[in-house]
Chain A
Amino acid sequence: MLAQSKLARRIIPCLDVRDGRVVKGVQFRNHEDVGDIIELALRYRDAGADELVFYDITASVDDRTVSPDWISRISREIDIPFCVAGGINSVKAAGARLSAGADKISINSPALARPGLVDELVKAFGTQCIVIGIDSFEDKNIYRVKSHTGDPDKMRETGRDMLGWAKEVTERGAGEIVLNCMNQDGVRKGYDIAQLSALRAQCKVPLIASGGAGTIAHFEDVFKQAGVDGALAASVFHKSVIAIPDLKQALHDRGIEIRI
């Protein structure tokens, strides 16, 4: 997949939002405060992030939706694309977020609860802004889709297989998939290359890798070996383990198409 286009591979800091603050946990547990939303958004924009994702991690489990107010504040401040996720379970809720300035919305648990929601959103807003987030847990070489992962006590088995679910949502018109490999999340041992490659082989829409980034080599591997369009990471950026300008320069030097 590489080198057939000048389209740059995207580096995407992910900001998990809870109660208006950016937080980060390990395997979705033990969240700690890492800063103010706007402050971090601007810092990442200045550092050269290609896109930002804001996940309201408590939205689905608390049965509420993210507030368009902070979306509008972000849109006012930053000039790179951003995606908003968290409990968006209707065309109306999606429309409010897009109107507030989000470029894309990402749907996870509500799509699992009612897959027809994907079709409704695509019809209302177009393929280009509908992202499907998938939380997948590998168990004896089977990729199991989980829902309501924001709270370990409320997390559910869906009975769905990741590859089958990804195929279904793209057939329903989703324009991008973010695959979060839960075994890897927050532990910085590298992206799940095998799982991402398996999805890449069948996925005709842009694919974003999530979960496991710890070193610059992990990003190089996921672009070169799994052929993903973008790599999402949180803790390595929030904790300044990797500086985005260094990362992008290194990837560029190693022959990956990158916006410097």
Chain B
Amino acid sequence: MSLVIVDTGCANLSSVKFAFERLGAAPVISDNNETILTADKLILPGVGSAPYAMQNIAAKNLVDVLRGVSQPMLGICLGMQLLYETLEEGGRVVEGLGLIPGHVGRLETGNLPSPHMGWNQIEPSQQSPLMRDIKVCDYAYFVHSYAAPISDYTLASSSYGTPFTAVVGKDNVLGCQFHPERSSRVGAQIFKNFLELTL
């Protein structure tokens, strides 16, 4: 099985790659259209700012490629947020890939510190092969200031000041707001589930 990590020009590519290597997979990091289109499965990583990431993706002529993929694709953190129609950052709205309906806005944390940083509990809300063997009260590692609201596509939720989508899924497109590559056993289980899932 070929697994391609889409090179979005963001910084956490190698840690994602290492996490899959620990599971015995041999992922390739690429921004080549052909390599991406012919992969069996795709990972869309991302950290940092949404406008910067979308600019990178556009500069690499990957917007239409990613919008058209039919194989399973897993977005991670900012990569998950990019799957949505629109994203807010610093008061401006950026167009995302539009693969999942909805808008990513600032996470309202109330009087809690922001960004939401650390290990928080995730609560599976729908049956999904991606969430196999993940239990209520399992912890995952989050680092983010923006989040997607709960929707019909929420596979698991979490809460920090406000409830938000921790894991999303629609058809072949999946995403985790947290970092599975840094979520120890829980993260490894989710990556393993992604490697094993069939559409």
| A5-B112 in contact given A98-B11, A206-B117 (Cβ < 8 Å) | yes
Interface residues of B in 78-102 (CB under 8 A from A): none
Chain B residues in 8 Å Cβ range of A5: 112, 120, 159-161
Smallest CB-CB separation from B77: which chain A residue?
A128
Chain A residues in 8 Å Cβ range of B182: 79-81, 103
Chain B residues in 8 Å Cβ range of A7: 112, 116, 118-120, 160
- Secondary structure at the A interface, as helix, strand, loop or mixed, is loop
Smallest CB-CB separation from A71: which chain B residue?
B14
Interface residues on B, range: 35 or more
Smallest CB-CB separation from A204: which chain B residue?
B113
Choose, from B37-45, B61-69, B125-133, B183-191, the stretch at the interface: B183-191
Chain A residues in 8 Å Cβ range of B113: 203-207, 229
Interface residues of A in 73-113 (CB under 8 A from B): 75-76, 79-81, 95, 98-101, 103
Chain B residues in 8 Å Cβ range of A10: 118-119
Q: How many angstroms between the C-alpha atoms of A207 and B22 in the bound complex? A: 32
Interface residues on A, range: 35 or more
Smallest CB-CB separation from A76: which chain B residue?
B18
B194 interfacial contact with A, CB 8 Å: no
B90 to chain A, nearest CB (A): 10
Given contacts A7-B120, A175-B117, A259-B139, 12 further A-B contacts (CB under 8 A): A1-B111, A6-B159, A7-B112, A79-B19, A79-B184, A99-B14, A125-B47, A125-B48, A129-B47, A175-B143, A205-B113, A206-B115
